[in-house]
Structure 1
Amino acid sequence: MTDHSSWKAFTVERKGHVAQVTLIGPGKGNAMGPDFWTELPAVFTELDADPEVRAVVLAGSGKHFSFGLDLPAMAGDLAAVLADKAQAKPRTDFHAMVKRMQAAITAVADCRKPVVAAVQGWCIGGGVDLITAADIRYASADAKFSVREVKVGMVADVGTLARLPLIIGDGHVRELALTGKDIDAARAEKIGLVNDVFDDADAVLAAAHSTAAEIAANPPLVVHGIKDVLDHSRSGSVDDSLRYVAAWNAAFLPSEDLTEAITAVFEKRPPSFKGQ
């Protein structure tokens, strides 16, 4: 495997036939800035091509899995589309950016090596997008989840609304997406977002590695085949949903409410939405 010591958003370690991909920031709480979106598809494309890797553990460093999109780091990419709402060029550029971000998450879902996510602490917004692309999700008892995009004036557009309905029930999807509420690990397990809950971060990571090692001990071509067959029936609907939301957000995301949401983040105050 290539030396990725220069990477800024991840570390990649291999133990036998299991690779561990760990989010390391550089934003607080492993927030997802430009480096994350650039490096994620490269990481998983390489793991997919590596014959020695048969399963992947996806984890977050520190106390939290991920705070989600790094709004301060990505604000410049949003500024152009907000600054000139009526023009096609900034909307077209924004649409292309969304497609690139979607492709980064899809690289995790499309990896032929099964991915087991180990979540501790907060898993917010883009963090949920990421874990919905995994095959199996485990949580520590202190884990908390939020489809937070509605709170910051956005429609989630890089995977959650496409994949979450295939993991949990429709009513639960709508409750999480429409409220932006936080749920704890026990609730996440009850609704099927995670397979199991473990005492702490060390325990959930150990469990993820145990399951990954169990998968890696099976015939790799058969494992690839199982993933391919399971993914076949849903790949069309996921792709269609991603294409639709990218176009929808390019058309409708620019709003006074989104500007207010971003401003409120920087000013560390509650936003006041007007529906404009």
Structure 2
Amino acid sequence: MEYSTFSLTVNNAVAQLQLNRPQACNSMTRAFWREFPDAIAALDASAEARVLVISSTGKHFSAGMDLEVFTQPDPQMFQGEAGRRGEAMRRLVLQLQDCFTALEHIRIPVLVAVQGGCIGGALDLVCASDSRYCTEDAYFTVKETELGMTADLGTLQRLPGLIPAGLARELAYTARKMPATEALQAGFVNRVYPCAETLLAGVLEVAEQIARQSPLAVAGSKQMLNYARDHSVSDSLNYMATWQAGMFQPNDMMQTFAAKMSGQSPQFEPLRAIVPAMQEAVKDDNNNKPN
């Protein structure tokens, strides 16, 4: 499919979603909020890719929410009875949150390559990814605080689990920039590269290594890591046992052993595509898992 705010390609089981509005610092317009969740859902449903790399073009990764969203809001949001206005606003925020939560629900790992500024809503996006990488000139900022609002699309919920809680609070309260060196020291990014070209090459190398592994093993690892983040060790171990009882089959292991003996790369069967009629049921199942 063609998208107006980013490009999406799949080559050798590696998907690349690249923000392509550098003249506007890759800000997230209304079109982005429609296109992004549709693209992620379609990618997951097709099972064509085994890993997703999100990057961008130009000087900055993304300036976050485009100003048009703030300056040209839907007039109906501010009309009518107060309770109903509040309910509609809550529903809108939940819909926007789902755009990035989709990165956690998708079966494949999501790697993000950040150059320059990663601001506001862009930070919400990268916090929902599996792994983050950046250039030496990159920085991350909870810009919403400086604008007079509370960040509402996931940064405040995910960032304290990715860096020390006190640092996350400082960033949220001050809206200051966290530079690449500090992000690396805090464990927010995995690696820092000298420029955008080496960044993308390095992240794609990681992606290609992931794509060579059993897609079922990788999907299971992502599922278990996400579950363990939100549950006790005891509950997570119990869920792991249940997963293994249903998902563990010797096929991929035999492929690996045979490949090692022959000196060739294993040829794993891809995950099954999601039947369109079942997509909503899968989404509901993810949303209704016990806490």
Aligned length, in residue pairs: 233
1:29 aligned partner, one-letter code: C
Distance 1:204 1:36, change over 3 A: same
Identity of aligned residues (%): 38
Structure index of larger Rg = 2
The answer on whether the counterparts of 1:116 and 1:208 sit within 8 Å (CA) in structure 2 is yes
Q: TM-score, normalised by structure 2?
A: 0.75
Give the corresponding residue for 1:130: 125
Deviation at 1:26, TM superposition (A): 8.0
Please say which of residues 42-51 and 116-125 is displaced more in the overlay: 42-51
Change (3 A) 1:153 1:80: farther
Looking at structure 1, the residues matched to 83 and 108 of structure 2 have their Cα atoms a distance apart, in angstroms, of 40
Superposition pairs of residues 1-150 of structure 1, within 5 angstroms: 4-5=1-2, 7-25=3-21, 28-77=24-73, 81=77, 83=78, 87-150=82-145
Coordinate RMSD, CA, aligned: 2.1
Deviation of 1:233 after TM superposition, in Å, equals 2.5
| Structure 1 residues 204 and 26: alpha-carbon distance in aligned structure 2, compared to 1, 3 A threshold | closer
Q: Which residue of 1 aligns with 2:206?
A: 211
Structure 2 match to 1:227: 222
Unaligned runs of 5+ in 2: 233-286
Q: 1:156 to 1:236 in 2, by over 3 A?
A: farther
Q: Deviations over 1:76-129 (max 9, x none)?
A: 337655x56971222222111101100001111211110110000110011110
Distance 1:68 1:27 in 2: 14
TM-aligned CA distance change 1:34 to 1:166, over 3 Å: same
2:193 maps to a residue whose letter is F
Following the alignment from structure 1 to structure 2, what is the Cα–Cα distance between the partners of residues 162 and 47? 25
Listed as ranges, the gaps of 5+ residues in structure 1 are: 238-242, 244-276
Deviation at 1:9, TM superposition (A): 1.4
Matched residue SS, 1:117? strand
- Determine if contact 1:139/1:204 at 8 Å carries over to the other structure: yes
1:189-268 to structure 2, matched below 5 A, reads: 189-235=184-230
